[in-house]
A and B are shown apart, each in its own frame.
Chain A
Amino acid sequence: EPEVTQTPSHQVTQMGQEVILRCVPISNHLYFYWYRQILGQKVEFLVSFYNNEISEKSEIFDDQFSVERPDGSNFTLKIRSTKLEDSAMYFCASSEGAGHEQYFGPGTRLTVT
Chain B
Amino acid sequence: LAKTTQPISMDSYEGQEVNITCSHNNIATNDYITWYQQFPSQGPRFIIQGYKTKVTNEVASLFIPADRKSSTLSLPRVSLSDTAVYYCLVGDVVNTGFQKLVFGTGTRLLVSP
- Residues of A at the B interface (CB closer than 8 Å) are 4, 31, 33, 35, 42-45, 48, 50, 55-56, 58, 89, 91, 93, 97-99, 101-107
Contact = CB atoms under 8 A, between A and B. Distances in A.
B46 A98 contact: no
B100 A48 contact: yes
Contacts of A107: 41-43
B93 to A, nearest CB: 4
Contacts of A91: 43-44
Given A42-B105, A93-B43, A107-B41, A101 B49 contact: yes
- Chain B contact residues (Cβ within 8 angstroms of A): what range? 20 to 34
Contacts of A55: 99
Q: Which secondary structure characterizes the binding site on chain B?
A: loop
A103 B102 CA distance: 15
Q: Which secondary structure characterizes the binding site on chain A?
A: strand
Nearest to A49: B99
A63 B6 CA distance: 35
A97 B93 CA distance: 10
Given A33-B99, A35-B101, A107-B41, A99 B93 contact: yes
Given A48-B99, A99-B98, A42 B104 contact: yes
